[in-house]
Structure 1
Amino acid sequence: MDDVKTLSFKDHKSCIYYTAKEKNGFRKQTLTENESIEFHKEDCNLFLFAMDGDLIISDSENRMQLSAGTMSLCTSGDASICITSLNRAELLILKFKNLESLVLEYMLQKCTNEIVERAFTQTRIIEEMHRFLFSVDDYIRADIYCQHLHDLKIEEFFRLMAIFYPEESYTSFLAPLRTSNRMFRHQVLSNFHPLINVIELAEKCNMSVRNFSRRFTEEFGVSPGKWIADKRDGQILQSLSFHDAEMNAISEKFGFASSSHFTNYCKKKFNDTPNGLHQKLRSFFTPLDGKTSYYTDKKFNSFCLRPIKI
């Protein structure tokens, strides 16, 4: 533990779609006896496959031994983990940031047991999975880091687990990933701002637009485009309800090209001008401190053309 190294991965550009540090993909690490490596997870989930030797995996609160022939899932949590070899060891590492696999989603739906917050889970590597990992190792030895190929291998990994592992085995192993559903909602809410669009929000959540839209609709019950529009309209109305509301400042905040553009938008959306809305909304909102407001759902939504969620 005295000589801790930082694990850094080379960006092998075997094609224009090479796997980079921020993307999903497999890597290999060989450790000498008593060698320690600090791995910065960067909000990623890690699958660790012990191909040879014995290792200790630890974070600030948890510690687990990983022996040859076993694999571990380390869910995103602490910013880094420490990997220490007890003897010479070989380790394959799969960094997995987003959950876009349809097979994985199906498998997670099978996880009906109560979620237990665990940093690490562990299961054995069966023969069929060993053969798969040897093929991955062959690609790495050949310096093949094509992102498309790695994405296919990730999908193959989950398919093999669903086929060859008993349901009770893989559900126990993958159960901590279910907490990522909570993380998805948190990512959406924390990255939202009035000027963002669906493409930008998908990028913030590290997902393709197609998979983001599908996942979003499942989680929020509405398309991301409509949710963003409703959220933005709700914030506009909230801003207009403030006692010290300034129309020009609100217009700029929400990205309108001019005050007349803002006025036309309000007329179309809410059947009134910004100033008219300001006067009406003050009767629906109760000031908390002169600047911040809260509202009564029934009265406020009956005022709007359609319900607005703020």
Structure 2
Amino acid sequence: MLSRALDDGLNCIHFHKVKQEELCILLRGYHTPEELYALLHYVVGYSAHFKDFVYEYYKGICNVQDFASLANMSVRSFQRKFKAEFKRPAHEWLQERRAERVLHDLRNTNKTFAEIATDHGFSASSYLITFCKRYFGQTPMNLRTHSEAFSPDFSRRSNASSPRRRSEKPSETSANAKNLPKRRAASRTKASENR
């Protein structure tokens, strides 16, 4: 199609820009960040040694301390270097990669939850369940059975959309805040009746 368009005289900068954007969309849609890095790291020109190291070993590592130790760096130095290269904190990046791999195994394999938990560094299936509830808001069983209904966007996660803790339930918090004046009024009424 591109050669036909060029033969027809569509050799303008706008056409090339659209095709370049189309290529980027297709690459991002069909390849993981690791695959894209392996394909393009010579063109991009970042510190290849550190990134190569991270992409080579991250699957076997569950926390930043182990990663720093493997790199023969202090934790603080590793975190600084990681943030400079990847533009995000190491812990957050590792958790997202772990979540991607867990989700992939839940959707695309017949492994038991215990096998998936072991493969991804959880000491028990219950920790896998807790991880999925915190990270995806669903149990592993729901993620496996309703895989087409849930599609996380790891590339756009921010601190605001990071996994919620049990104490951070917005529906309960906002409901309690709305009912607070009513509860106060009710307790005053009860107190005055008891006098």
2:83 is aligned, of 208, 212, 217, to 217
Mark the CA change 1:280 to 1:216 in structure 2 (over 3 Å): closer, same or farther: same
Distance 2:91 2:153 in 1: 23
Q: Which amino acid aligns with 2:80?
A: R
One-letter code of the match for 1:300? S
- 1:267 is aligned, of 133, 144, 147, to 133
Q: What does 1:14-53 correspond to in 2, within 5 Å?
A: none
Tell me by how many angstroms 1:248 deviates: 1.5
Q: Kindly state the Cα deviation for residue 192 of structure 1 after the two structures are TM-superposed.
A: 1.1
Letter in 1 for 2:151: F
Say if 1:186 and 1:248 are closer, same or farther in 2 by CA, change over 3 A.
Answer: same
SS of residue matched to 2:151: helix
CA drift of 1:301 comes to 2.7
Q: Which has the higher helix share?
A: 2
Instruction: Please name the residue that 2:151 is paired with.
Output: 300
Rate the CA distance shift 1:244–1:260 in 2: closer, same or farther, 3 A.
same
Aligned to 2:66: 200
Give the conservation status (yes or no) of the 8 Å contact 1:267–1:273: yes
Distance change in 2, residues 1:181/1:243 (3 Å): closer
Change (3 A) 1:275 1:192: same
Summarize deviations over 1:209-249 as a string: whole Å, max 9, x none.
Answer: 22221111010000111111111111111111114232121
Q: Match for 2:123: what amino acid?
A: A
Whichever residue aligns with residue 242 of structure 1, its letter is: N
1:243-274: per-residue Cα shift (whole Å, max 9, x none)?
42321210121232322332222122212111
Alignment gaps of 5+ in structure 1: 1-178, 285-298
Question: Superposed, which structure 2 residues align to 1:141-290 within 5 Å?
Answer: 181-281=47-147, 283=148
Q: Which has the higher contact order (CA 8 A, sep 6+)?
A: 1
Cα 1:229–1:243 change in 2 (3 A) is closer
Q: Distance in 2 between matches of 1:226 and 1:194?
A: 16
Cα distance change on mapping 1:240 and 1:203 into 2, 3 Å: same
Structure 2 residue identity aligned to 1:217? K
Deviations 1:115-156 (A, max 9, x none): xxxxxxxxxxxxxxxxxxxxxxxxxxxxxxxxxxxxxxxxxx
Structure with more strand by fraction: 1
Q: How many residues align?
A: 114
- TM-score for both structures, normalised by structure 2: 0.50
Q: Deviations over 1:178-213 (max 9, x none)?
A: x78111100111111254321221222232222221
Opposite residue 101 of structure 2, the aligned amino acid is Q
Once the 2 structures are TM-superposed, how far is the Cα of residue 302 of structure 1 from its aligned partner?
A: 5.5
Q: Please say if residues 184 and 205 of structure 1, whose CA atoms lie closer than 8 Å, have aligned partners that are also in contact.
A: no
Query: What is the alpha-carbon root mean square deviation over aligned residues?
Result: 2.9
1:261–1:197 Cα change, 3 Å: closer
Query: Structure 1 residues 234, 180: closer, same or farther in 2, change over 3 A?
Result: closer
CA distance in 2, matches of 1:180, 1:276: 39
Q: Distance in 1 between matches of 2:153 and 2:71?
A: 34
Task: Percent identity, please.
Answer: 28
Deviations 1:97-129 (A, max 9, x none): xxxxxxxxxxxxxxxxxxxxxxxxxxxxxxxxx
Q: TM-score, normalised by structure 1?
A: 0.33
Cα distance in 1 between the residues matched to 2:46 and 2:74: 17
